[in-house]
Every structure is written in structure tokens, then in C-alpha cells.
Amino acid sequence: MNEKTLETTEKIKQEMRRGITVAVVMNFLKQAQYGYALLKSLNDSGTDIGQDTLYPLLRRLEEQELLESEWRVEDPRPRRYYRLNETGREVYAALLIELKEIEKLIRSMTNETDK
């Protein structure tokens, strides 16, 4: 692959990842987590996401009323915890079904390629 093709491939890969980032973040928010811990959990699980993507995404999900947040003061210092609400869990379940469909599609594509 030449440099331009590599660049194009990288762009498409990023677009594909961006598409599932929302579902991945929602998966981690089934339990309440504060921002920095969430960022670390995501990075530890292999999700390449920075705070410049995560925090705007959290705000957007909150604006879309898919998650709720609250300040907890019982920690060593106040921390803002995020968690999926009822609607968020429903949306996440729907996204999961969609991801499974995509997985099936990928399997069929891979089988086709293998033949």
C-alpha cells in the first residue's frame, strides 16, 4: 500500500471505530463511573479514546437524555458520576442488536473472502 492508500485506510478505520464508540462507552456506563475512571477503563480495554472525544460524547448523551450524572461527595473529593438511565439502557440494547447484525454481516463477508 502506498502512503495515500494507507492514509485513506486509516481514515475509514477511524470512521468505523467512531461508529461503535458510542456503544462501547454506553456499555461501560451500565454501572456508574466518574470521567477519569471511565477513560482509564476504556483505554485499558483497548478502546482508543481521548478525553477530547469522551467528555463531549458524555455531554451529548446527557443532552439526549440517555444518561444521568450526579456529583458524589463521599469520595476523597467531589466526583461526577455518569450512568445510563432507563432510556439509555433501552437504546444500548437496540445498539447491541444492531452490532450483532453487523457481526453476522462481517462473518459472512469473511467467509466469502476465505472461499
Residues at the interface with another protein (CB under 8 A): 34-37, 50-52, 55-56, 59-60, 63, 71, 76-80
Task: Supply the minimum distance, in Å, between the C-beta of residue 45 and another protein.
Answer: 18
Pick the closer one to another protein by CB: 1 or 73. Answer: 73
CA distance 41 to 71: 20
The cell for 61 is 448523551
Q: Reduced to 3 DSSP states, what percent helix, strand and coil does the chain have, rounded to the nearest 5?
A: 70, 10, 20
Instruction: State the residue for C-alpha cell 450524572.
Output: 69
Task: Supply the minimum distance, in Å, between the C-beta of residue 54 and another protein.
Answer: 9
Task: Supply the minimum distance, in Å, between the C-beta of residue 12 and another protein.
Answer: 20
